[in-house]
Chains A and B, each alone.
Chain A
């Protein structure tokens, strides 16, 4: 098993799928000649040529719409958004077209598109480039959203996304791109809608996705060492579909839940998860569900403050102790 970075894992997934299926096309701003704004697609142009690896103009509505149209005819485009923040100029395409076409055609048309790119704050780039639209997009039936936290999951989910026959939006994280982890050499996928218990514990369940998983794992370590608390960390991996059973099984075990995400709190993913827990595991709860999310303001530019705005280990530990009170 090789130890590779999150970025390399994504690239490996795309490379393997490009080889497996000649309908797979990589498209996006600066994905080809420039080797990718974040070098995720580095080397792919050289390996697969300009027909398969396509540079687009800065024209999200245009090229995302084009990818959706192409996917309706059977092409399997993997579209890179330099930031998911830029999806907002292609919202009609991403939501109305990709998300509704199968439904509105009574199942006659499918849209097997993948749109991927980083969706995270914490990089000192200000509000317009720091959006985390997983909750917004996952709130639309017809759309699937995944948020890998580790290289293993990044590769497995990306491959599953490309093979999936529905629109799948993969939200990556620039801060995780250099994180390394073990990734099997052989072909594998991580099915959508399967959460992963990243750490087993008995006293408290932390549900998180994306980089919040990494933060939560660090917090769990501290809670164990300094407070003698055994914390279970459930990584959602997939927002929609959602692995409700894994969440509920963990809460049924620990009876206490803390939900951590880098979204803003209002109608975040964890609002749905909290609803789920109280509706399906109400009698298991020994304490109210708490959440840690980004402080509810547009993303601040100042890095020192941004680090405090987003969920960090200290905030997670402090909130965990409140749930455990």
Chain B
């Protein structure tokens, strides 16, 4: 290919991998050694979970679509590591990383992929539909951009209830052309809602590069200006930078109840989904370059090694543990039972699942 089709952070690729200029940023400097190891561990867990999924998918145990997060770990890790009790998140279909970041177990995540009743959605959602509302994680949405209005509504609810919180709405770069996203932008800004729209820009909307899909003034975040919203661009290969810049947006949400659009440059190593031949729209060289030069997990490992927070031994231990955990999860998913035929008609209606004197519905609601 003549030129890289990927819209990148103006600085990120030019700068050689090395110590992060955001290491000294207060949100990062204030992290304890344990915090940093924990953050690294989470990123490693996402990576190993996703890579384990590939095998299971190839064994034919995962049906439908499988969208992997490998390469984008720093985005979920950096942003979610900052969140507090009243901060919520919602995302699109590339949702495994966010789920593991909020604390979902590998077992329930893996079992959901193989359609088991032990899955986080009891085998009813699948890869694109992870949910953990008890951890402020509202999915996992399959339709591009559809989560944007919902996340705006979550932020609205937080504000309505008088809580100091926010909602981070993740989406890919392809989602920015969806009408629902623009409507959400407008409402968020119009009503001063504490939303942070996180555009995880991995360069391709499915198999179409940005150049071929999106009109923009140099970056996608700048569209926020049309809605009188604050915006920023972030090098998504540096988890410290992600944290540092997200913290500003979070403060804006918490203190001023104002929305922000953050465009985080990142890269996915695998296809849009496992069904993507990944040959027609990008070079292998391009992928190789990102893997070698910009990998967020390796970069953070280097960072922590140089900070003496991590030792190679500890790193190895962390990675081995993550792999073992993923193996165990695969086994758990294998051994878990399927939902039953009777389960097909459960969880459709609250009122149906909880019929009693107080419910407001009678009559037939599940039809033959």
Contacts and interface: CB of A to CB of B under 8 A. Distances in A.
A and B touch in the complex (CB under 8 A): yes
Interface of A: 25, 51, 56-57, 59, 61-75, 92-93, 96-97, 101-110, 112, 141-142, 144, 160-161, 163-166, 189, 191-195, 238, 240-245, 272, 279
Nearest to B365: A241
Given A59-B183, A66-B187, A164 B157 contact: no
B271 interface: no
B349 interface: yes
Nearest to A246: B363
Contacts of A242: 363-365, 367
B53 to A, nearest CB: 19
Contacts of B120: 106
Contacts of A101: 139
Given A191-B362, A192-B362, A57 B186 contact: yes
Contacts of A240: 365
Contact of A70 (B119, B122, B154, B367): B154
B184 A62 contact: yes
Given A62-B180, A106-B120, A193-B361, 18 more contacts: A68-B149, A69-B155, A71-B153, A72-B133, A97-B141, A106-B347, A108-B131, A108-B134, A112-B350, A160-B360, A164-B359, A164-B360, A165-B350, A165-B354, A166-B349, A189-B360, A195-B363, A242-B365
Given A70-B154, A104-B131, A166 B362 contact: no
Contacts of A64: 149
Contacts of B300: none
B324 interface: no
A72 B131 CA distance: 12
B129 interface: yes
A142 B361 CA distance: 13
Contacts of A65: 146, 148-150, 152-153, 180, 183-184
Contacts of A75: 153, 156-157, 160-161
A108 B121 contact: yes
Contacts of A61: 149, 179-180, 183
Contacts of B350: 102, 107, 110, 112, 165-166
Contact of B153 (A69, A103, A144, A166): A69
A62 B195 CA distance: 14
Contact of A164 (B134, B353, B361): B361
Nearest to B184: A62
A107 B149 contact: no
Interface centre among A65, A72, A93 (most CB of B within 10 A): A65
B90 interface: yes
Contacts of B157: 69-70, 72-75
A182 to B, nearest CB: 22
B138 A69 contact: yes
Nearest to A74: B157
- Closest A-B pairs by Cβ, 6 of them: A65-B149, A69-B153, A193-B363, A62-B183, A106-B122, A69-B150
B158 interface: yes
Given A61-B180, A166-B349, A104 B363 contact: no
B154 A72 contact: yes
A31 B197 CA distance: 28
Interface centre among A56, A71, A73, A244 (most CB of B within 10 A): A73
Interface in B141-170: 141-143, 146, 148-158, 160-161, 167
Contact of B133 (A66, A109, A245): A109
B248 interface: no
B360 to A, nearest CB: 4
Interface string B161-199: 100000100000000000110011011001000000000
B366 interface: yes
Contact of A107 (B132, B167, B353): B353
Contacts of B140: 104-105
